Structure formats: structure tokens, C-alpha cells
Structure 1
């Protein structure tokens, strides 16, 4: 982040070094000599604070600057954004309300308010704010797209898709808008059209650097894959890979030689999928005739007799690994339940971090489960959130120190009776193995879980229990307890 003369920005340098007092002084100096209506000097620190996960430091700077400039709407908007990202909705709301009281038609402030209300789960109120933005700026197709997002989140599918189409007519080559439209189509169950639209993601950075003219085309009777090398590549998260491994046996059945170029954590598990010829981690690009990111596989098969791939189980754990974990688990007739209560937070990526706040919970929210009769709970949680189990010593068994790869996780899951998880890769792993799994899902869920179903076309053994109110898990956990009690009785 450099100035016009390519020298490092002093304010950014000071903040990065932790010299917060000097940061404040520099910001005040710039305010005294700069444009009072342009961006605030602290604004360029927001992406830095996000990348370094130092939002609290920037909040402190905002508060310090407000002592001298309490009426500065720019500081109020920055404060609202930071407090929203950290989950302090009341503070964020007070800040953005104060900013809008001074500038009621300021579009950036209204956009912050809409995003805050969406993050807080107040979707009807967020929709009204976006409609106000549309009145003020009717020629903005991106705002129409945002309205469509909330419409589908509120269950108004037809209106949402209509609004997406209107926004695309105005700006047909906007990749993010087209990608959002594809997600709405998939969430509504229009899979074939949705997967075709989903290829617009290639216009955005971070998906593939391989040439588009060698992307695997749609599977048709005329497409000859006999002896052709198809390179299937890791694209996003482990959950996506686990979900779409189901298509590899179908490619092999058509004579393709399948090479997977993926993550080390997934290598041995992928190698065991039927039809996989070779798995490579890192290194030079393997040879191929066609390449296909995992997320493009359902597009390729969407018009075939198998649009959802092969039936579960299509992922199988290592038999030796299964035996190793079995030796650590007593044969006592108790129900074995795997637990995951948190996803990967990724605080350096604000959108992903805020999503994770909505989908994850504290382990204490699951405490009502832990006294279930004749039931043993096994932690499948990894990452910083796994430390929360220390408060429940003796009530949750932890074998995760024996897990090095996803294949090890699969071996542990194979020894369980059922898995209970928030929306993480664990849901996909258990589902792909044909293991009974309960998904504790958030309001406004991921497209793949749709919004009006408690089951899934992707995983027949999956049952979904969804929040009735955003951020509230009590009723979900109560229903999980009832479901586990029923499951144990049926298994007896």
C-alpha cells in the first residue's frame, strides 16, 4: 500500500509496527492539512487491520480520533464496519445510526447499515435499507443484485431470480453478479442452469490458471474420454473436494485416466476413490488432455443420467487406520457421537470470518447434550476452537492428536455411530462415507443445503436442523438431543 511516489505509506508503516500513538498523531496531522470531505486518513488502515487481525487496535485509534472529532461521519462509518466485523452489533448500530442522522442519504453509510443488519440476521430491515438505496440510486445493478440476495434468503425465490435477471441485463459481463445469480439458481434447485452460470467464477481471481480451451466440456454421448488424461484440480475448500469426488468414478467409467492435483491433507483419501489413477501434491503441472476443477464436475455431468454423481459411500477410510482407532475406543455398547462446533475462522478474510461467526458456536452451547445417557462424545474439532473442550474434561473424548490428514479423520469417523456438526467439511466427509450426520445449520444457509429441506439430495444420511433465529442455537441443540435419543433407541 504505497503513495503516488511509491514510498511506503507512513501511517500504514506505523500501524504495522504497532506505534499506535504515532499513528494517531499522523492521522491528526493529515486531517489538519487534508480534505475534510474525502476519505478519512484512517480508512487505508482497514484492509491492513483485517489482514493482520488487528481490528481492536484500529478501533482504539478510531476512538482516540473521535475524542477530537466526535462529529466526523467518516469515523462513525469506520467504527460501524469494525464493530460489525467483530460481532459487536449494538456498538456498530449506534455508530451507523449516528452517521446517518447527519447524512441520511449517504449511500456508503446506507450500504454499511444494510450489511450490518444482514450480518445480525435482521433480513427484513436490511431489505428495507437496500430498497432505500435503490430509490436514491436506481441505476445501480449491483444493489439490485444485493436485493435479490436478501429476497432469496427470505424465501422469495421467484422475485429474487427476476431481480438477478434485471441486474444482469444492465451489466451482463459482471462476473460477481453472474456468480451470485448462479448460487441463487442452485439454492432454488435449478441445478443445470446454475452450474452453467457458476462457470463465471473463472472471471474472478483465484480459481484456475490453466487454459479455458482445455476445460473439460459437458459430458455427452459424443464426448470420447477413452484413454484421455483428465486432471482434476483442488479449487476451494476441503468440503467442496469431498462433495465432488463422487464424479470421479463416472469419469473413469468413460475410460478417462484421472489425475488429481490437490492438497496434501486430502491426498491419500482421494487416491482411494474408485477410478483415480494418480494423485499429485504440488510440483509442476501434470500432463493432461482436459483439466477440470472439482467445482466444475457437476456442470460437466448436469445433463447426464447421474447429475449427483455416484451414490454414497464413495469415500472410504483406510482399513488399518480404522483398526488403530477402534483399539482406542471401548466396546461398551454406548452410542458414539462425533462433535464439531466451529469452522475455520480465517480472520484475515473479513467475508469468510463473518460467515464463520454465523455458522459456528461455542462448545458451551452443546453442553445440554453432554449428559445424554449411554452416549460417548468424541471431539472432531480442530483449530483454536478445540481448546474449548478443556472446560469439559471427562465429558468429551479427544483423539485428534492422532489425526494428521483427512484420511486419519475418516478412520476415526468410521468408528462412530453418528456425527453432529456445524456447516464444515466434516459434514461432507461423514455424508460421503454414508455415515449418519446431523447438520446444525444457520439462518440463510449455504446454497447446497437449500432453505426448505431437512434432507439433502447430495447425502441421503444427512438431516438438517436449522436455526429459527439468527445467532440462536438453543432450539437447534434441543432438537439434536431429541434426535440423538431417538437414534440411540433405534440402534439398541
Structure 2
């Protein structure tokens, strides 16, 4: 043992005078005779790093860390390698061993926070970042990381504070400026968001992420032309930037540029937080080919409303002579199975051979849809018996008021739900001239209180099993009034008279202006002229209904 220690010291000496080959040979001899000599392995790893052989270096470092005598520095270095390799659980274990040997220190606490952040354990990440902050409070990247965590938790004001501290320590921190702008955007403080993005772009003019974020904010402000200019700059800076290409698609579509919009809409599969692309093992449906005799799997994507809106394209494939298997969400199964002349399934059976597959919202691109060539709604929806018999008991027919089916909110997980949904209380003025029926499954706590207070609004959500039930109720109404949810799409394909309520910045399918929809001829659109102002929209609807009553 004494001889080994002397040899290790000799190896360290030769390493210090840059005689690395001689040091290597001496230390290899020690490692061979004393496999538990951690210092020999650590020094060998250091030499391997100097030689540029990182694989060998980390192998030796791992051997060093398998011994009890390894140093906290060796453990931290190995943990950094696990972190870089995205082996987060292994990194956490090694970092904790390093702390056990040498106590808490800034670097290991910071990296533990990063490990937990990458695992999505945000509270734990913040805990370790804050511990690191107690040791050293002048590191801008630490404040930036804390800002990112608060962003993920939707604590946007806290995030802005952290980004501000990062910038105060590093004035040219373009990434912090950009994310500060994004936090302002989430708080709907759009002018402040634009100022932050501009600060980032003044520092880094070709910063594609900041250009993309700025474009999203400009779109929310309905400044679409400026948004497209930013997106074009982002794409020039980074031609493979899928998020910018996706945002360009939705901006083009909202402006009616379908030809380019549908093409760029295909980038939805590559953008961040994208849905998984199903059935990649099946060839994709080609363009510019007749499909006679081909068996094609069409699978629904996104929400129920998308499936209803674009189900009309199935008929175009059938007209070409294709055999179609249409995979749809379970609540839509009965409605579409009873009305579309193809095989409608909840889950495709892979034992059934098909020639091609295609996601539903790719069909407008394949058929080169323009504003002038949107397919008509097809087929006409016929409902099976029994639904009205079961649900008709809820309908009032003894007074002189019209029956209006309403929907005030949709899926709370929808990215724009806070803008597209509105409180039920806004519908109360309509009670003077109509019977109101709330036709939706989920109801917020505030809307439940409104229903408890105003029992004259009949809630039918508990009676809805699937979309056939919703369709039967819609058919029985005189009018449907809905925010942008699947109920609006269902009323649209049923060709029912629909008043659609849209937020200031609408989803692309409703276009940027106008009171009619090229997708649903029976629809009249009422748009917010001011962000969040549903009261004026309801006033417009009241005036419309009073005028109609006077004309009848």
C-alpha cells in the first residue's frame, strides 16, 4: 500500500510537469494492483481528458466513483456527465453522494435543480435552485433558471422578477429578455412583451426564438402582417425552425391564404409539444393521385370540433373510389358511424391491411383547398331514434319564448381556453326573451354557482352520453349560441342556426374578420372588438334577437 501511494504521488508529479505518458503508465500499474485506489483512477481520468478521450475518461471516473475513497470532485464530474447525457436519476444519485462527502456547495445544488427541472419535478427544482441562491446570489443563469420554473408553474409575475434580476446582473442577456417577454405575453401585457422582445432582438438581431415569440404576441394583437414579417425573419435565421413555420401557417390561414397555410400546417408534427404522429409505419397518402381502389386509414387528431369540421373530406376520398377506415374519438363514434358511408372505428385494427394512412387535417392540403373550394358539409346528419324521446322532457313549450341552446366554455386544457370561454353569467340578459339550455359536459365552479342561483337555466350536461345526444338537443332548439367549442362545430355540420361568439383574437379557422363562416353557412359570427369584452357581444346578440322577433 505504501508503495502504491508513493507511485500515485510520482504519477501526480509527472502529470504536473506534463509527462503524461509516463504518468499514465505509472498510474495504470497502481490501478492494476490496487483496484480500490480511487485517486489513481481519478488521475487516469484526468489524463484521458487531456488526451481528448472522453469515453475512456468517464469510464475511469466511474471506476473511481465505485470506491469508497473517491473525492466529491470526482463524483460531481461524473454527475455532470450523467446530466449532459440526460441520465437524470443517475446524476441525482451521484450529486447527492458528492454532497454527503463535502456538504452542500453551489455547483452541485444548481445542477441538482437542473436534474429535477428536466424530470418535470418543478417544486424540487426550485427548492435546490433557492438553496444555491443562498450560497451565491450573483449568477444570472440561476435567476434565469428560476424564471423558467415559475413560467412552467404559470407563476408569471414571479418569473418576470427572476428574469429582471438575471438581466440586472447581465444586461446583454438576450435569452432572459426574450423569456421575460413571453411571461408578459401570458399576463396579456402585450406592449411590455413587445418591448422585452425588442430588447432581446437589439442584442441579437437574428434571434429566431425571440422573433417567433414576438410574432405570437403580434398575432394576439391582430397585427398579422407584422407577425408574418417576424416569422419570415425567424425562418431565414433558422430554416428548420418548426415552431415558426407552424405559427406562420396559422397566421396565413387566419388571413385566408390557404394555399401556403395548409402546406406549412404540416409542421404541426415537428413543433414543440406536438402530438405524436400515429401509424408512421404505414405509407402516407400521396398527393396528386387518384385513390380508386385504395384502402385508406384516416385518423382523427386534435379535438372533437376538428373531427366534425373536417369529416367532410371523407366524402372526397369516397368520391375518388377509395375505401376508407375513419378512426375517430369514442364520443363521436355513433354519430359519424351512422352518417358517413365508410368504416368508422374507435381504434384501427392493424391486422386490417391498408395502402395509406393520413391524419384528418392533412386532407385540406392534399385536396389543395382554397377559400373558394371548401367542400360543402357532407353528409346531411340523420339522427337515430330514441334521443329526442329521452331528452324532450327538458324542453319548455308552454311559454312564448324561443328555446336557445348555449355553451359558454369548452375543454379547460385548450391552449386558448381563458380567452375563448366566458362566464355563464353573461348569458343572463337572454332569459328575458328565451328559454336557455346549457349544453356542455363540464362546468366551472363559478358557472355552477350561477346555475344554482338561476334555476331557469336548464343544465343538460348530465344527460349527454355522446354527440348523438348533443345533436338531438341541438336539432330541437330554435337557435344555438356558443363560444368556440365542439358544440359550435356540431351545430355547424347540422346546419342549425348558430350565433358564434369569438374572442378578440380568434382561432385561425374563423378568419380574422367578417360575420360569416365559409365552413358553416348557417353561422353568424359575433366578434369581440375589445379583448375580454363579452358584454358588448351579448348586447349585439340581444339587439339581433329583438329585431328578429319584431320581424316575425
Which TM-score applies when normalising by structure 2? 0.71
- The reply to whether residue 214 of structure 1 matches residue 283 of structure 2 is yes
- The reply to whether residue 181 of structure 1 matches residue 248 of structure 2 is yes
CA distance in 2 between partners of 1:89 and 1:468 (Å): 26
Q: How many residues align?
A: 461
* C-alpha contact 2:301 2:359 (8 A) present in aligned 1: yes
> In the TM superposition, what whole-angstrom CA distance separates every residue of 1:172-231 from its partner, at most 9, and x where no partner exists?
23333222222221122110221122123344553423348832233x5xx332332222
CA distance in 1 between partners of 2:182 and 2:391 (Å): 45
* C-alpha contact 2:297 2:357 (8 A) present in aligned 1: yes
Judge which range, 181-190 or 304-313, deviates more.
Answer: 304-313
- Residues 45-60 of structure 1 aligned to structure 2 (within 5 Å): 45=117, 48=120
- The reply to whether residue 422 of structure 1 matches residue 491 of structure 2 is no
CA distance in 2 between partners of 1:190 and 1:397 (Å): 41
Higher helix share: 2
* C-alpha contact 1:245 1:314 (8 A) present in aligned 2: no
CA distance in 2 between partners of 1:43 and 1:445 (Å): 38
Gaps of 5+ in 2: 1-81
Q: CA deviation at 1:130?
A: 1.3
The aligned residue for residue 362 of structure 1 is: 423
> In the TM superposition, what whole-angstrom CA distance separates every residue of 1:80-111 from its partner, at most 9, and x where no partner exists?
66766777666655555455445443333322
Gaps of 5+ in 1: 13-25, 347-351
Q: CA deviation at 1:378?
A: 0.8
Q: Which structure exhibits the higher relative contact order, with contacts defined as CA atoms closer than 8 Å and separated by 6 or more residues?
A: 1
Query: RMSD of aligned C-alpha atoms?
Result: 3.9
* C-alpha contact 2:471 2:490 (8 A) present in aligned 1: yes
The aligned residue for residue 343 of structure 2 is: 278
* C-alpha contact 1:230 1:291 (8 A) present in aligned 2: yes
Q: Closer, same or farther in 2 for the Cα pair 1:251/1:454, shift >3 Å?
A: same
Matching residue within 312, 322, 327 for 1:246: 312
The aligned residue for residue 44 of structure 1 is: 116
- Residues 310-459 of structure 1 aligned to structure 2 (within 5 Å): 310-311=376-377, 314-332=380-398, 333-346=400-413, 352=414, 355-364=416-425, 366=426, 368-369=428-429, 372-385=431-444, 388-393=447-452, 394-459=455-520
- Residues 247-266 of structure 1 aligned to structure 2 (within 5 Å): 247-266=313-332
CA distance in 2 between partners of 1:93 and 1:255 (Å): 57
- Structure number, greater radius of gyration: 2
The aligned residue for residue 309 of structure 1 is: 375
> In the TM superposition, what whole-angstrom CA distance separates every residue of 1:23-75 from its partner, at most 9, and x where no partner exists?
xxx99x9994122995682783487367xxxx8x9989999998998888677
Q: CA deviation at 1:404?
A: 1.2
* C-alpha contact 1:120 1:470 (8 A) present in aligned 2: no
CA distance in 2 between partners of 1:264 and 1:461 (Å): 27
